[in-house]
């Protein structure tokens, strides 16, 4: 067995061991993945490919991938979670191969791959049917193929890169960064200008245009979304009306957002790779980031530090953002000193990463930097200020850092990667405990004969049980679908809640289900009935 094959086996063994330890493949939706799961269920049941009207992305490639896994066993969220987990593993393989292609040593390539796999955001989303990890996986394989193009000058590798780019744009719209960056990189290269090779990546853009047109004619309209601020139509309207004047402010916010998210996620690399010879660049970068934060605060903009109390996929109190999507959520209190300490560590880490990555660019470096610039622009233009939207930039940052030289302190990096992996394992374990309590409450109401339209189970429960299956949803007097947390704020007789005594209304506790967390706060999920009085 070659060293590369042996290391890929080690990566697989670690990924499988984590799944065996956690058993994370619950047969329940997570965040927004019920929207994308509906398309798979529809395809399996009726044989036609359609998208739910609440979907903000066009992801037929992911739909087909999930359906492929469901074919032998039938539809279930367990199978869909497994499909993403398998894709995430292949993404780790691609991460390792990309690093080795860039002449990173085997040991450093393993540590860089471990940084991606142990990142709590990547780890958490790998056990869901969200679109973020499939996008990263497609982007990594596209990057590997194109980096082979820069070294081998083979058309078949360019064709492979274009195919992987088509997969990326068939998962999320931000996948368009890949063919654009590839076309520009080819245009700067003599080989890329021959036979108009720089035009070839536009095949992926044409594919994106095709599926966008297809989406407009294959949308399953469920109800009125005109009053939902983040519906696809309202998002487009907001972009047309305010994207231009908001771009300077959002660009500043994107700088600090990416610096905080990536700086915290790649702390093991920044600490292990920092060299005193580059301290001037690091200090200059830190001063610039500090000035941007100061400008945000001075102009009244909302600076969002990493690990907020309860507003991101990875927050201080919870990994997974599940508890805030249930009624009567109380945000955990954190001291201002702790918040700013985390922010300073993240910004300092980001400064070290920039200092390590600063070097003259070759053809491969130009391609990687163009992708970073493209993702930065889309985050600013589309207002994607959420930590999981920074995930596509994470592997790019890892490659840019490690191709600059060997890790100076590999043992320290390995120790910090282990600490990050422990955070991810504990965080998912805590999430699974809370999620079990939530769906136990749903099962209790079902055992009582309560229909989905008669209770409010929070965003995920209501979305899947009612919006995705409108035959079970509540209807208004005009016959329109009204679902709490989705397109309405109507009250229900029963409620699943984070509190036994909500601040509004009179409720009686009819059941409760406890959950125990290792890191976050433990508690109970309550099933409430509204008092008739």
What is the token pair recorded at 95?
Answer: 């991460």
Supply φ then ψ for residue 484, to 5 degrees: -60, 140
The per-residue pLDDT for 533 is 59
User: How far apart, in Å, are the Cα atoms of 112 and each of 118, 179, 226, 424?
Assistant: 10, 25, 45, 16
pLDDT (average), residues 405-425: 95
pLDDT band at 77 (very low <50, low <70, confident <90, very high): very high
Interval 287-302: pLDDT, tens: 999 888 888 877 766 6
Measured CA distances, 344 to 296, 310, 335, 423, 429 (Å): 15, 19, 15, 20, 28
Among positive and negative, which fits the CA dihedral 362, 368, 372, 375? positive
Check whether 466 has a pLDDT greater than 70: yes
Residue 404 near residue 481, CB atoms below 8 Å = no
pLDDT above 90 (res 308): no
Binned at pLDDT 50, 70 and 90, residue 1 comes out as confident
User: In this predicted model, which residue has the larger pLDDT, 462 or 243?
Assistant: 462
Task: Quote the CA–CA distance of 61 and 87 in Å, as a whole number.
Answer: 12
Quick one: pLDDT at residue 80? 97
pTM, rounded to two decimals: 0.95
- The model's confidence at residue 465, banded by pLDDT at 50, 70 and 90, is very high
Burial of 530 (0-12, 13-18, 19+ CB in 10 A): middle
CA 397 to CA 376: how far, in whole Å? 12
Across the range 440-447, mean pLDDT stands at 96
Predicted confidence at residue 244, as pLDDT, reads: 67
List, for residues 330-362, the tens digit of each pLDDT value.
Answer: 888 776 777 788 889 999 999 999 999 888 888
Q: How far apart are CA 314 and CA 11, in angstroms?
A: 23
pLDDT tens digits, 176-197? 999 999 999 999 888 888 888 8
Residue 243 CB-density burial (10 A; 0-12 exposed, 13-18 middle, 19+ buried) = middle
Strand (E) or helix (H) holding 32:
none
pLDDT digits (tens, 9 = 90+) for 90-120: 999 999 999 999 999 999 999 999 999 999 9
**Confidence grade of residue 243 (pLDDT, cut at 50, 70, 90):** low
% of the chain beyond a pLDDT of 90: 69
Smallest CA-to-CA distance from 117 within 411, 344, 349, 425 is with 425
- Cβ neighbours, 10 Å, residue 356: 26
Q: Structural domain boundaries of the chain?
A: 3-421, 431-530
DSSP line for 425-444:
HHHHHHHHHHHHHHHHHHHH
pLDDT band, residue 430 (cuts 50/70/90): very high
pLDDT at 528 over 70: yes
Helix H or strand E segment including 523 = strand 523-530
User: How big is the CA angle at 196 (ends 194 and 202), to the nearest 5 degrees?
Assistant: 145
122-158 tens-digit pLDDT: 999 999 999 999 999 999 999 999 999 988 888 899 9
pLDDT tens, 202-234? Answer: 999 999 999 999 998 899 989 888 887 777 777
How many other CB atoms sit within 10 Å of the CB of residue 152? Answer: 11
């Amino acid at each position: 067995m070659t060293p590369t094959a042996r290391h890929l086996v080690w990566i697989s063994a670690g990924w499988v061991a984590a799944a065996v330890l956690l058993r994370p493949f619950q047969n329940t939706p997570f965040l927004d993945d019920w929207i994308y799961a509906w398309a798979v269920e529809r395809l399996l049941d009726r044989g036609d490919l359609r998208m739910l009207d609440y979907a903000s992305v066009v992801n037929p490639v992911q739909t087909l991938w999930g359906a492929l896994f469901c074919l032998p066993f039938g539809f279930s969220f367990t199978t869909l979670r497994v499909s993403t987990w398998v894709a995430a593993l292949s993404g780790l393989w691609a991460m390792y191969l990309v690093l080795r292609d860039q002449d990173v040593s085997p040991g450093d390539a393993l540590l860089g791959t471990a940084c991606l796999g142990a990142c709590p955001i990547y780890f958490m989303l790998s056990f869901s049917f969200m679109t973020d990890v499939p996008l990263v996986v497609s982007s990594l394989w596209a990057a590997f193929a194109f980096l082979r193009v820069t070294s081998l000058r083979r058309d078949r590798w360019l064709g492979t890169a274009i195919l992987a780019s088509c997969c990326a744009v068939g998962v999320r719209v931000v996948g368009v960064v890949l063919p654009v960056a590839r076309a520009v990189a080819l245009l700067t290269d003599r080989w890329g200008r021959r036979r108009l090779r720089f035009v070839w990546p536009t095949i992926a853009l044409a594919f994106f245009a095709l599926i966008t047109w297809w989406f407009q004619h294959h949308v399953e309209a469920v109800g009125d979304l005109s009053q939902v601020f983040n519906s696809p139509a309202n998002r487009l309207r907001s972009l047309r009306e305010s994207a231009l004047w908001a771009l300077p402010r959002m660009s500043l916010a994107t700088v600090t957002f990416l610096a905080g998210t990536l700086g915290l996620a790649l702390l093991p690399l920044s600490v292990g790779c920092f060299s005193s010879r580059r301290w001037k660049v690091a200090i200059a970068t830190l001063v610039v980031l500090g000035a941007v934060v100061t400008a945000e605060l001075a102009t009244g903009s909302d600076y969002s530090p990493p690990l907020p109390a309860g507003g991101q996929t990875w927050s201080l109190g919870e990994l997974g953002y599940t508890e805030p999507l249930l009624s009567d959520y109380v945000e955990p209190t954190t001291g201002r000193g702790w918040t700013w300490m985390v922010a300073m560590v993240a910004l300092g880490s980001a400064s070290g990463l920039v200092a390590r990555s600063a070097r003259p660019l070759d053809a491969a470096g130009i391609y990687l930097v163009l992708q970073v610039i493209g993702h930065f622009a889309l985050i600013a233009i589309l207002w994607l200020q959420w930590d999981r939207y920074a995930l596509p930039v994470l592997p790019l940052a890892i490659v840019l850092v490690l191709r600059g030289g060997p890790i100076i302190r590999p043992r320290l990096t390995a120790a910090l990667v282990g600490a990050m992996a422990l955070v991810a394992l504990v965080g998912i374990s805590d999430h699974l405990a809370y999620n079990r309590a939530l769906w136990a409450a749903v099962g209790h109401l079902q055992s009582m004969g309560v229909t989905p339209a008669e209770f409010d189970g929070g965003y995920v429960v209501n979305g899947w049980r009612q919006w995705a299956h409108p035959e079970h949803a509540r209807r208004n007097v005009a016959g329109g679908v009204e679902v709490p947390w989705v397109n309405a704020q109507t009250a229900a007789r029963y409620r699943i809640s984070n509190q036994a005594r909500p601040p509004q209304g009179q409720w009686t506790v009819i059941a409760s289900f406890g959950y125990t967390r290792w890191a976050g706060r433990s508690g109970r999920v309550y099933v409430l009935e509204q008092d008739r009085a």
